[in-house]
Structure 1
Amino acid sequence: MELRHLRYFIALAERLNFTHAAAQVHVTQSTLSHQIRQLEEELGQALFQRTKRSVALTAAGELFLPRAVHALGELDIAIALLSPASPELTGQLRVGTTPTFDIHVIPRAITAFTARHPAVRLTVEEDTAASISRKVLQREFDIAISYHPGDEPKLSFEPLCNEELVLLVGAKHPLASRKRMRMVELHRREMILPSSRYTTRRMIEEAFAAAGATPIVRAESDSITAMLGTVRQSHLATIVSRHAVQGDSGFKIIALESPTPMRTPGLVRLKGAPVDPAQATLASIIREVTTAADFQPLQRNR
């Protein structure tokens, strides 16, 4: 088995069309068909069901696909990282990010990356998780920090860290002395929350529903900066990622429980897309930043 067999298999599994898959990997349709048969013979399993009108993955193909994608992705990254860094490396790297990570992770990553590859231009765009997935699919982003893209088969997701949502209040807020709170205790509390276009808002609403609580939402905002500023200057509370307030003063951070809103952000990429040295370097830096001690889940004070 050679790397090309995996690339051809993944392309056909994504497209389920020999003509389109062959065009994607720049070979003839007959070459693609021959290589797929070689792979199936080596594995001793049929990976695709073929008819005159359609192509579909077999049960063996479904089992093999995620492992092939992971293996090829790891090899691409390893090869890229082992490639000698060149001061002449140029081009552009387009990065998508959810607002939470645009505050601390992205600035740290940009600083480290530009020191290694000063001639590569980074373009960073903040967006919602749904929009980020769409833009990765459309090749508008080369890589993104977002949340699991669900059942989208053409996107890969590499978990980075655990992300806990916390209650945030101003230093003079009546709840400022609390170390932890149950979600039900926030019933009828006045809050500013992210707008409903963000997955964070849906998570918050699910947590409130599970606790049987309903907050008083006085304001909504698409901007984390605006929410933080409002909380600092007013009596309103908010719920945000612990990562959003890393190192900020002027706030009191309160752990939430029963339930504790928790999710897993990660790197989102297009399956089978080549990983160049610049992208591999940025991914490595992002991993380092998000696995640092101050980006782990909040430790509770009992």
Structure 2
Amino acid sequence: MDVRHLQYFLETAKRRSFTKAAEALHVTQPTISKMIRILEEELGVELFDRTARQIVLTDAGEAVMIQAQQIVRSLENLSVDLADVTSMRKGQIRIGLPPMTGAPFFPELIAAFHKLYPRIGIRLIEEGARTIEREVESGSLDLGVAVLPVDAERFDMFTFVKEELRLVVHHGHRLARRQTVRLVELSGEKFLMFREGFTLHESIPAACIQAGFKPDVIYESSQWDFLSGMAEAGLGVALLPETICRKLSPDKVATITLVSPRIPWHLVMIWRKEGYLSYAAREWLRFSKERLSLPNL
């Protein structure tokens, strides 16, 4: 059934005349008659009583008219909704953010995006980077922030932060006055670590083992401020990104450059390779890449 059949039928029912319907629709009267005859044959009923001086709907025609109005109205609404989506007047984006990356990088970006596209909703999900990777791959999230290394066979990405981890200790710690610390010098220390699901939960122990020791992890958390607070209280040492260290008060903790090896903290925006991205998500990707990407990458 062609929607034009229904539109021609409704116009004829409205005007009670094939001729007037043809004039309103800018087609010939035989075209109107043919379309309605096709519709009647397809439905197996007569829609109009043509024996009267002015055509009138049959009882079957009355029933069809009610449904036809709903169908045509739904199609018109669909066209409007699609126009809203493709022109960025509506939509929703699901973005995964590790707790450490939300506040430093995204409030101003989201505010600027919202100003341009006030009817596009952004749903933020806070999880560790490894969890975010799984959610993006499954399609539960449209995009997410992850920490390198990321599987390039599963995700497309762009880098927007290239930093390193720093050592965070309380002011009475034996290393607090040092400018640099080699990782092996932390052997025997109590470590405050991000919990499972965070990339640093894997990368820090791997670096320690490479340096010749296994870290003694006494506490795990998903919150960087809790880890820094524990370090301030002298309960252990933490390794945190430079961005986070800049937020810490030098009156409360000492932050020290970590060397031999340096542990990188490179942030990327990821999305599923060859996966579908909505119009809104594609625009967010273009918008954020333009404002976040590092030069010459």
Same topology, TM > 0.5: yes
Which residue matches 2:91?
91
Q: CA RMSD in A?
A: 2.8
Q: Measure the CA separation in 2 of the matches of 1:195 and 1:287.
A: 32
Equivalent positions of 1:13-32 (< 5 A) are: none
Structure 2: segments with no counterpart, 5+ residues: 1-85
| Residue 119 (1) aligns with residue 122 (2) | no
| SS across alignment from 1:130 | helix
Kindly provide the amino acid, as one letter, of the partner of residue 198 in structure 1: F
Over residues 223-264 of structure 1, what are the superposed CA-to-partner deviations in whole Å (9 max), with x where a residue is unaligned?
223212222333421012222333332332211111111143
| Residue 136 (1) aligns with residue 136 (2) | yes
Structure 1: segments with no counterpart, 5+ residues: 1-84, 293-302
Which residue matches 1:280?
283
Which residue matches 1:61?
none
Q: Measure the CA separation in 2 of the matches of 1:118 and 1:112.
A: 10
Q: Measure the CA separation in 1 of the matches of 2:246 and 2:172.
A: 20
**Per the alignment, do residues 90 and 187 of structure 1 end up closer, same or farther by CA in structure 2, a change over 3 Å counting?**
same
| SS across alignment from 1:253 | strand
Q: Measure the CA separation in 1 of the matches of 2:125 and 2:271.
A: 15
Q: Measure the CA separation in 2 of the matches of 1:117 and 1:244.
A: 30
**Per the alignment, do residues 160 and 135 of structure 1 end up closer, same or farther by CA in structure 2, a change over 3 Å counting?**
same
Over residues 45-81 of structure 1, what are the superposed CA-to-partner deviations in whole Å (9 max), with x where a residue is unaligned?
xxxxxxxxxxxxxxxxxxxxxxxxxxxxxxxxxxxxx
Equivalent positions of 1:168-183 (< 5 A) are: 168-183=168-183
Equivalent positions of 1:1-302 (< 5 A) are: 89-148=89-148, 150-151=150-151, 153-249=153-249, 250-272=252-274, 273-274=276-277, 276=279, 279-281=282-284, 284-285=287-288, 288-289=291-292, 291=294
Q: Measure the CA separation in 1 of the matches of 2:213 and 2:149.
A: 29
Question: 1:121 Cα shift?
Answer: 1.6
Q: Measure the CA separation in 2 of the matches of 1:179 and 1:90.
A: 51
Q: Measure the CA separation in 1 of the matches of 2:93 and 2:204.
A: 33
Q: Measure the CA separation in 1 of the matches of 2:293 and 2:152.
A: 24
**Per the alignment, do residues 149 and 211 of structure 1 end up closer, same or farther by CA in structure 2, a change over 3 Å counting?**
closer
For the 8 Å contact 1:170–1:234, the answer to whether it is kept is yes
Q: Measure the CA separation in 1 of the matches of 2:193 and 2:179.
A: 21
**Per the alignment, do residues 245 and 107 of structure 1 end up closer, same or farther by CA in structure 2, a change over 3 Å counting?**
farther
Residues 142-151 or 93-102, more deviating: 142-151
TM-score normalized by the length of structure 2: 0.60
| SS across alignment from 1:265 | strand
Over residues 91-111 of structure 1, what are the superposed CA-to-partner deviations in whole Å (9 max), with x where a residue is unaligned?
211101223212311333223
Question: 1:137 Cα shift?
Answer: 2.3
Aligned length: 207
Q: Measure the CA separation in 1 of the matches of 2:293 and 2:219.
A: 30
For the 8 Å contact 1:169–1:237, the answer to whether it is kept is yes
Kindly provide the amino acid, as one letter, of the partner of residue 252 in structure 1: A
| SS across alignment from 1:200 | helix
Over residues 204-227 of structure 1, what are the superposed CA-to-partner deviations in whole Å (9 max), with x where a residue is unaligned?
111111211344322222322321
**Per the alignment, do residues 147 and 119 of structure 1 end up closer, same or farther by CA in structure 2, a change over 3 Å counting?**
same
**Per the alignment, do residues 162 and 107 of structure 1 end up closer, same or farther by CA in structure 2, a change over 3 Å counting?**
same
For the 8 Å contact 2:183–2:261, the answer to whether it is kept is yes
